[in-house]
Structure 1
Amino acid sequence: MKKDLNHSICEEAIFERIYNTYSKDLHSYLYYRYGEQLNPNDKVQDAFVKLWNNCKKITFNKAKSFLYTVANNMMLNDIKHQKVVLKHQQTQPKHYTYETPEFILEKEQFLERYNQVLTSLNEEQRVAFLLNKTEGKKHSEIAEMLGVTQKVVEYRIYSAFNILKKELQGFKIK
């Protein structure tokens, strides 16, 4: 008696039979062809998910071909992706800038002057200012760390900011 090969693979029992029949062979095929590095287990599972999602379009006698084609294409796509990643890792970043030498010199001089003014601040102002502006601490956190009130911290930051603004031309901070 001839089997009817046009059964819908959307039926759970038929899909399970397809899975039990082809999953190990498909895994072995992918493993021996591409190796363990590209996760053949994942590709097998993904191929069966795609088969399930397209079960109405695929007949029972085309299921094996569909699974092998989909799994093989997924592996090839992963290989292509790895080549792109490797290519981008090997490219060296460009070491030029569009900044003019004058701008770079001004930036270095400003940074040097900024550091000088920072060192000229008294310790309380410098600590409060740097905790707030470089480490992003809130006024309440700084007050707790230093053991002072929040108003004292605000005053220290404000006075440090005013000194920096007065000593450095064009100094702005957010």
Structure 2
Amino acid sequence: MPKELYQNICDKVRFSKLYEKYAQGLSDLLYYKYGAHLNTSDKVQDAFIKMWENCQKVLPETAKSYLYTVANNMMLNEVKHQKVVLNYTKVKPKDYTNETPEFLMRKEQFLECYEKVLSSLKPEQREAFVLSKIEGKTHKEIAEMIGVTKKVVEHRIYAAFATLTEKLEDFKLK
């Protein structure tokens, strides 16, 4: 048996010859085994990329075996992934809630009252309250935005809270 000149396949010319020699056959084999729906040519490309990344470890005489094993494993992983996707599509989304119709009705009524009371606040109170509680701004940020002191902003927010708790019986501070 003649001694190999190369110990690995990192030479570009040698690698391209391996590609020309094995790519079509590997693609045909994967197509035959797994069909067209799993895009076998991508897996062949990925197998060659993986072989190039590990070219120091792959001997020329084991290159074909390496390619076929890597490509087959990639296809098996893709099949497993497709099974997971299929099982996930079979699961129907939850189209019900544990909330009673009475709760849903009270929630709607509360939101209507809340919006009505919020709109009845003084504009400066409403602005400070909305910026603080809905948009999550700090008192200091709000003061800088509207051009007043931090104490004025706090007073407006607390005044809005007082009005909301007075006019909404179910309103709770958080």
Query: Normalized against structure 2, the TM-score is what?
Result: 0.71
Q: Which runs of 5+ in 1 are unaligned?
A: none
Q: Alpha carbon RMSD of aligned pairs, Å?
A: 3.4
Kindly tell me: are residues 119 and 168 of structure 1, through their superposed partners in 2, closer, same or farther at Cα, counting changes over 3 Å? Answer: same
1:70 partner amino acid:
V
Deviations 1:22-62 (A, max 9, x none): 3455555449845488565344323554676xx4xx76533
Once residues 143 and 21 of structure 2 are traced to their aligned partners in structure 1, the CA distance between those partners, rounded to angstroms, is 67
How far is 1:125 from its partner?
Answer: 0.8
Once residues 41 and 173 of structure 1 are traced to their aligned partners in structure 2, the CA distance between those partners, rounded to angstroms, is 60
| Residue 13 of structure 2 is aligned to residue 16 of structure 1 | no
Higher mean C-alpha deviation, range 63-72 or range 152-161? 63-72
Map residues 111-126 of structure 1 onto 2, 5 A cutoff.
111-126=111-126
How far is 1:84 from its partner?
Answer: 3.3
| Residue 163 of structure 2 is aligned to residue 167 of structure 1 | no
2:9 partner amino acid:
F
Kindly tell me: are residues 27 and 129 of structure 1, through their superposed partners in 2, closer, same or farther at Cα, counting changes over 3 Å? Answer: farther
Map residues 1-174 of structure 1 onto 2, 5 A cutoff.
2-4=1-3, 14-17=8-11, 19-23=15-19, 28=24, 29-30=26-27, 33=31, 35=39, 38=42, 40-49=44-53, 55=57, 61-82=61-82, 84-85=84-85, 88=88, 91-174=91-174
How far is 1:159 from its partner?
Answer: 1.3
How far is 1:123 from its partner?
Answer: 0.8
Q: Is the 8 A contact 1:165 1:171 kept in 2?
A: yes
- Aligned-pair identity in percent equals 46
Q: Is the 8 A contact 2:164 2:171 kept in 1?
A: yes
Once residues 74 and 118 of structure 2 are traced to their aligned partners in structure 1, the CA distance between those partners, rounded to angstroms, is 58
How many residues are treated as equivalent by the alignment?
164
- Structure 1 residue ranges (4+ consecutive) displaced by more than 6 angstroms after TM superposition: none
How far is 1:160 from its partner?
Answer: 1.0
Once residues 38 and 83 of structure 1 are traced to their aligned partners in structure 2, the CA distance between those partners, rounded to angstroms, is 19
Q: Is the 8 A contact 1:51 1:63 kept in 2?
A: no
Kindly tell me: are residues 47 and 15 of structure 1, through their superposed partners in 2, closer, same or farther at Cα, counting changes over 3 Å? Answer: closer
